[in-house]
Structure 1
Amino acid sequence: METTMHNNDKNWADSGNAICYSGYRAGQSPVHGIFPSALEIGEDLALLQPRWKFLRLYDCTAHAETVLQVIEEQQLDFKVMLGANMTAESSNPNCPWGAHFDEETLASNRIANDREIDRLIALSLRYPDVVFSVSIGNEASVDWSDHLVPVERLVAQTRRLKSAITQPVTFCENYVPWTNKLEPLARELDFISVHTYPVWEYQSIEHAMAFTQQNLQAVIDKNPDKPIVITEAGWTTASNGRGIEPNNASQQLQAIYCRELLNWSREAGILTFIFEAFDESWKGSEDPLEPEKHWGLWTEDRQPKLALQTLFANQG
């Protein structure tokens, strides 16, 4: 299937590779407010710099602020998509692991989300040469989300951002909502950011790229006049069977999918962020084989996985 990025006047895909970056190491997590140091972030960026130009950050915590500071102070050649971490503004009975909140909690979350957008604006204005785009949230409208935000609130936050900063504004979401409920939001955005995960939807490696292309084509067909970016796509290297069969998670499968994904996205001219740079043990359950923990191209102790040996094999 041939897929092209419509009205892509930004030419980002021709400027370098893209990856999602979260620098939490063993014993660190945003949940407990234990963040990587500037030295640790500098070490990570030194690993990423030879092959990656675009980084995606998920929130406006101290972690993001330190990343931006290190990039600017060390004059590193990175461009960052800076995100907002939205909390639930609506309960969601469709969330499999539970997302029911009382009205007091939801009201508090709305205030917290407004403050997160305040920080997003402030950091975008402080680092205009590093932050190349901003996202108003991450997976906050898909049916299974535990941090559901009404579309009208996403529209309002988009308008607020666009009145305050000059960077392009997007929203990062699973491909399905872009084909239906997010039409009012899509009209407001500068470009659409899509997530596609064949392995979460029980696809074999043989069908994975065709599935990714189908996901993206469905979004393009619905939004033909909007530029499209893939902000998450990847393959986990371990699983305990929760949502992903253990035999469908390995370094070999990750290497195959990421190689095919980058080759195709370069040809199609679609900026694509690999999910993700480093494994993160703080995510998911306590089970060490929880699939959420194992999407990195590097392990948590910064050892390269097989994919890194094959992704750039023909590029010197």
Structure 2
Amino acid sequence: MRVLVALIAFVAVAALNLLWWWWPNRPVEIAGWTNAPLQSVSFAPYRPGQSPLTRTFPTPDQIEEDLKRLQGKVRAVRTYSTGENLEAVPQRAGKYGLKVWHGAWLNDNDKENLEQINLLIDHANKYKDTVERVIVGNEVLLRKELTANQLRRYIRQVKQRVSQPVTYADVWEFWMRNPSLADDVDFITIHILPYWEDVPIGLDRREPDGKPTIEKHIVDIYKKVQERFPGKTIVIGETGWPSDGRMRSDARPGRVEQVRYFSTFRSIADREKFDYNVVEAFDQYWKARQEGTVGAAWGLLDAQRRDKFELGKPVSAEPHWPILFTLSTLTGGLMLGGFVVMRRQARGKAITIFAVFAQLVATCYVQATWIDLSRTFYFEKMVGVVFWAVLLGLFSYALLRGIADSLTGKMADPSLYGARVREAWRAWRELPRYQIVKRADLMLQMLYLVLTVICIFYLIVISIDWYDGVIRIGETWYRQIAIDGRYRDFPIWSFVIPSIVLMAWKTLTIVRSEPASRADRWPKALSFGRLLGYDGSKGFVRMDRTYSRLRPILPEIALSFLLVFWAVVMVVTEGAIKLHDGGAGGFVAVDGGRWVIGTLFWNTQADWFGTLAILMAIPYLATIYVSLREPLAEPPPDSYTSKW
């Protein structure tokens, strides 16, 4: 009978698990998505392990392989540098029917700039049949590495010595701020990236008339630039959408979202007769060091040169979901089988409850580990993934072990528990280390403290920007970004088990029918001392009486305050936008823009992570409540001898 109940429970939770993985990852038809090739794509042929930051470059043969992969997908490619073996692009692109928008990389080093300029001129003249446009510099005004006058000097040098049309490429606002540059170029190349706008624009946002806001934004920007520079051809040199990474406002990265953007933009471009280039051909892992996950995930193909999607075909948000479903289902099933075999006293109700929580933990663990693993762009990241997988795995073990003990009446004597952080820490230190595995309650408490500290760390680094130090690349010194919250992912799945799953179990233990009144169980079952919930025993968790109300709970006060405070700060800062409209109000930034709270709660990833942090604060807050209600210790009476 027990085996039959376990089998039915396994089938039921496996079916729910299948629904969990299939529904958000089912193939989606994108309206207007056709198999027609794109006009042009940014071409940076760096592979995993290669980077301009470390001066490791692709070989000419690797570059040719990449050009061949793009055959039939695009009509042209845009380069950003003339060195680093990139002469192979104009040299070999024609073999695959591709034209080249050839670019020189400029910075604040005149020697390096002259080398780039001379190579650009040489390539443009040597490969006239392939190079159809010449781009002198990319976003150098945005980076504030050159002034408009310095840039103008380089542009003029190139124009005098090549026959192709010459331009400079930058974000559209910087063309509006430097209109005099238009006289020195043959056409104007602007970048329109709705994800990176000062006010990011999500794909689902709508205007009052029901039209997509992102469509209106693109057309309005193009026409604004066109009106500012009448008679000049306007080319969109960069536009695109990331397939992975963190949200900005309501702009959500994703594979489906990336295809939706390309489809929307191409429809606009066909209607408005735009000349454009999209970002970019391949995912670039090296960018993750500077820009996080989102910086590495703008490619049409991934870093291994596999198609993320096919032109004109349905798109799946996570193509690997069948493997993840299978892995999580087998893991949940194995844990359920182990519970049935090792806990023979467990009956139908206990088996069913354990099946649900085993599958919850397995699914959340696989999801969290896979997301981390898929974002492993360099060695240090892999070390972090392994550390987190072990830490979360230990916590999951302690949680499920505690649930199994509670369901079968095997919990440790409650008088051995540590009711507060200090008492739990003392009990853990006094426990022989070989006994820690047998004490699921103490093991869970210690791991919960570690996870709490890590959660606070994430909240802080996502909320703040801190720039400090410089790094050297070649002969040039660059300022290093120490902490920049814009590029930090929200580690939502990493904290689902110690927040939602744990609180779900705690809540279940409260509503069970037990001898103690439910009103008395609520605060104690939610507290840190009862981290595994109310176990049904008649004993009480030991809470040592002290002479002070606040001193024993200072750790709880500090941890709960930090969790709640930084969760609020993170949500508020994610709702802040910088405006350059000359208006009043808000916080004035160094560059003259003003910060205002304009998109509060739009970033659902930030909202979710903030919610998880607050859920993790509940055990500490409940402990504070229980501790404050406990009577203080009475001082010892004066003895006769103390008077002498």
TM-score greater than 0.5 by the shorter chain: yes
Does the CA contact (< 8 Å) of 2:63 and 2:89 recur in 1?
yes
Matched, 1:263 2:261: no
Matched, 1:300 2:327: no
Instruction: Report what 1:27 is aligned to.
Output: 49
Distance change (3 Å), C-alpha of 1:16 and 1:249: closer
Instruction: Report what 2:75 is aligned to.
Output: 53
Does the CA contact (< 8 Å) of 2:100 and 2:132 recur in 1?
yes
* Distance in 2, Cα, partners of 1:249 & 1:141: 27
Distance change (3 Å), C-alpha of 1:149 and 1:138: same
* Distance in 2, Cα, partners of 1:286 & 1:26: 15
Matched, 1:231 2:237: yes
TM-score where L is the length of structure 2: 0.40
Deviation of the 1:307 alpha carbon: 6.4
Instruction: Report what 2:276 is aligned to.
Output: 272
The DSSP-based 3-state class of the residue aligned with 2:159 is helix
| CA offset digits 1:162-197 (Å, max 9, x no partner) | 11110110011101012232x111111100001011
Deviation of the 1:284 alpha carbon: 3.5
* Distance in 1, Cα, partners of 2:214 & 2:296: 21
Matched, 1:79 2:76: no
Distance change (3 Å), C-alpha of 1:187 and 1:282: same
Does the CA contact (< 8 Å) of 1:258 and 1:307 recur in 2?
no
Deviation of the 1:51 alpha carbon: 2.5
* Distance in 1, Cα, partners of 2:290 & 2:53: 14
Distance change (3 Å), C-alpha of 1:208 and 1:63: farther
Instruction: Report what 2:483 is aligned to.
Output: none
Instruction: Report what 1:215 is aligned to.
Output: 221
Give structure 1 stretches of 5+ with no counterpart.
1-14, 89-108, 312-316
Which residue, 179, 185, 208 being the options, matches 2:181?
A: 185
What letter matches 2:273 in structure 1? G
Which residue, 249, 257, 263 being the options, matches 1:253?
A: 257
The DSSP-based 3-state class of the residue aligned with 2:141 is coil
Structure that is richer in helix per residue: 2
Matched, 1:64 2:67: no
The DSSP-based 3-state class of the residue aligned with 1:17 is strand
Identity fraction in percent:
28
| CA offset digits 1:57-103 (Å, max 9, x no partner) | 0011133212222225xx33111111111112xxxxxxxxxxxxxxx
Instruction: Report what 1:104 is aligned to.
Output: none
Structure whose CA Rg is larger: 2
Give structure 2 stretches of 5+ with no counterpart.
1-36, 205-212, 315-644
Deviation of the 1:286 alpha carbon: 7.1
| CA offset digits 1:131-181 (Å, max 9, x no partner) | 111111001112xx1x52111122111211111110110011101012232
How large is the Cα RMSD of the aligned pairs? Answer: 2.3
Distance change (3 Å), C-alpha of 1:286 and 1:19: closer
Distance change (3 Å), C-alpha of 1:37 and 1:154: same
| CA offset digits 1:263-304 (Å, max 9, x no partner) | 2112222211110111000014278x5211000011111121
* Distance in 1, Cα, partners of 2:149 & 2:129: 30
Does the CA contact (< 8 Å) of 1:20 and 1:273 recur in 2?
yes
* Distance in 2, Cα, partners of 1:126 & 1:63: 15
Matched, 1:112 2:118: no
What letter matches 1:160 in structure 2? Q
Matched, 1:281 2:277: no
| 4+ long deviations beyond 4 Å | none
What letter matches 1:124 in structure 2? A
Distance change (3 Å), C-alpha of 1:27 and 1:16: closer
Across the two proteins, how many residue pairs are aligned to each other?
Answer: 270
* Distance in 1, Cα, partners of 2:226 & 2:249: 30
What letter matches 2:281 in structure 1? A
Does the CA contact (< 8 Å) of 1:17 and 1:273 recur in 2?
yes
Does the CA contact (< 8 Å) of 1:21 and 1:57 recur in 2?
yes
Distance change (3 Å), C-alpha of 1:278 and 1:245: farther
Instruction: Report what 1:157 is aligned to.
Output: 154
* Distance in 2, Cα, partners of 1:260 & 1:48: 21
Which residue, 63, 83, 90 being the options, matches 1:41?
A: 63
Distance change (3 Å), C-alpha of 1:307 and 1:275: farther
* Distance in 1, Cα, partners of 2:271 & 2:250: 32
Distance change (3 Å), C-alpha of 1:249 and 1:78: same
* Distance in 1, Cα, partners of 2:110 & 2:251: 41
Distance change (3 Å), C-alpha of 1:194 and 1:300: same
